[in-house]
Amino acid sequence: MSSCSRTELHLIQMISVASTFSTVPYYGMEPDSGIASCSEVSKVLQDMNKDLEKMLEEMEKISIQTTWMSYDMVVIRTKPELAESVRKLDETFLKCKEEVETKWQEMLNEFKGQT
């Protein structure tokens, strides 16, 4: 225990106290084990850090999506004709894509017939 930092020792004490409550997440530590070792505390800190990083990443993604949704709503409300233009653009794109796929299949079949 002498190699533990002051923060780790404080965390060990907190975990020991928290182990008496069943609703506290233990991150792999046994709740009835009493005082935790420095390696257990280090592992707990690493696991918590990974979990927090994952949650932060998800929150960033959600924040970006929300920002874009808000932007789109503002644009559509201030310029309703834009929504119609986007719809027409989507339809045109799908028609073009279908035509290209058809032509591609024709060319492929033609090539297979020649060989």
pTM above 0.75, yes or no: no
DSSP H/E element including 95:
helix 80-114
What pLDDT is stored for residue 24 in this prediction? 47
Residues with Cβ within 8 Å of 3's Cβ and at least 6 positions away in sequence, in order, are 38
Write out the two tokens for 8: 């780790």
The model's pLDDT over 60-111, given as tens digits with 9 standing for 90+, comes to 999 999 999 888 888 878 887 888 888 899 999 999 999 999 988 888 888 8
Report whether pLDDT(20) > 80. no
What pLDDT is stored for residue 1 in this prediction? 45
Report whether pLDDT(33) > 80. no
